[in-house]
Structure 1
């Protein structure tokens, strides 16, 4: 699948409606080299994780993504996993995803990840995101006091197709027992955000590649834009502000990759051309199904 959603699902083995599961590993040699590489750098990622994130689970999810990143450079894979760890987001395709674009592994925070960071603020009780479809029952009257200003009742008696196309994305939070302003974003508004702010979209349009996230999975970016607007009306942690700033940098494909604060790369993790470093091959295994100690020592 060529679209962003397809690449996320391929990288995580999941779908929109179910938790991703690790795909069966058929090439044990590849599994060994991936595990070997991750283990040699485990402390980089686990030391960066917030205390509430289980280290073993994070590394397990990271390992499940590795087979799809074989052709990516060490530096980009390292940076992508470190970004996930820095913000405590699992690369499971729901909170965040690591998408291979050629030889570059790219960290892509998802709207669920932004919501996860909002939840971490002590004043935020809950965060809700939803889609309004054409045949749903809904009403928005901004002059009414909260929470009577907004109402949405999905047609549970109908399938999504029967409910009609999505017409609105909305998000709100409960803060100190009170509901925040409801953020509503229709499709034309999402397109305006895309056209005005997305450098990746503009570049893909100029090059006629149509491969930016806005091209390949418009709905995901629509949802993300809605949640990004919500952050302006909820208490914002330094962590969330940093993620939003990094996400802006990631969208600018014409600039150098953003630097993760606190990152220290081993020499073989440097990008090609930096201090004369060359791209290193992935470690090799002596036999399928067994890790090579010798290769690990060379790494």
Structure 2
């Protein structure tokens, strides 16, 4: 364990594995493997272990993978603290699981395709016969529920940007998703605005939206993570102690055995 970061040590502990298994079952190894890789290759290795565990448990509870390339959920570092962040694909996944949403779509609208949007009657006119241009005019989200209810909203790029600057404390940081993948964050923002306002919210969707909105100072929706980290740290310490004790050479005579016993007594 000498080459592991403190967070990786916690994640590899028996306590952490047991907790993830309670939530993920057979998916545990794959999820933890992705998390260990993420922690080892990003700025997460420099953040608080407890916050990484908390963020990861939120994703696990929602059964969303945290592999960044998939775009379902993320564990993002904010200074020395990690936070859970759901991607627009994660929102779509949760909406589909609810069984209430029969049609769902979201994405960018290019300037050369955009005709007009009537917010009063919620009518968006787009000419999809035109090839995608370079500049994006805005972002839309639309859905149809099982009961026939339909909804569509459209935000121009300026409104999305203003929203991001207002509600994301890391908007201007180079590592922020708003800077590295603006379109994905913009799509998610509009989609979440629609779902949280007009869609029937399943328990999972409520948890996801609350977790995505909360700041580092707000109450954690999975407070048991703090206890888990303590258990994991204790497990890792015990494991290291056992490795040290088991790795000692067998004493050559009784005197060495007695000396070592005295040392152990003092340590205890």
TM-score (norm 2): 0.69
SS of residue matched to 1:91: coil
Give, in angstroms, the shift of residue 100 of structure 1.
Answer: 2.8
Partner of residue 14, structure 1: none
Give, in angstroms, the shift of residue 150 of structure 1.
Answer: 4.1
Q: Distance in 2 between matches of 1:153 and 1:177?
A: 28
Residue 170 (structure 1) aligned with residue 140 (structure 2): yes
SS of residue matched to 2:46: coil
Contact residue 84 and residue 91 of structure 1 kept, 8 A = yes
Residue 84 (structure 1) aligned with residue 49 (structure 2): no
**What residue ranges of structure 1 are gaps of 5+ in the alignment?**
1-27, 271-278, 287-291
SS of residue matched to 2:102: strand
User: Over residues 114-168 of structure 1, what are the superposed CA-to-partner deviations in whole Å (9 max), with x where a residue is unaligned?
Assistant: 2221111122123211211112265545687x9xx4454546756xxxx121111
Residue 108 (structure 1) aligned with residue 85 (structure 2): yes
Report the count of equivalent residues: 235
Partner of residue 42, structure 1: 17
Alignment of 1:11-160 (within 5 A): 30=4, 34=8, 37-40=11-14, 41-49=16-24, 54-67=27-40, 68=42, 69-93=44-68, 94-136=71-113, 140=117, 149-154=123-128
Partner of residue 268, structure 1: 230
TM-score (norm 1): 0.62
User: Over residues 239-285 of structure 1, what are the superposed CA-to-partner deviations in whole Å (9 max), with x where a residue is unaligned?
Assistant: 212221222213xx5x2563415545246379xxxxxxxx99x88x9
> Hey, which of these two has a bigger chunk of helix by percent?
2
Q: In structure 2, do the counterparts of structure 1 residues 112 and 157 end up closer, same or farther at CA, with 3 Å as the change threshold?
A: same
Q: Distance in 2 between matches of 1:96 and 1:141?
A: 32
> What RMSD, in angstroms, separates the aligned Cα atoms of the two structures?
4.0
Partner of residue 228, structure 1: 192
Q: Distance in 1 between matches of 2:221 and 2:190?
A: 26
Partner of residue 294, structure 1: 243
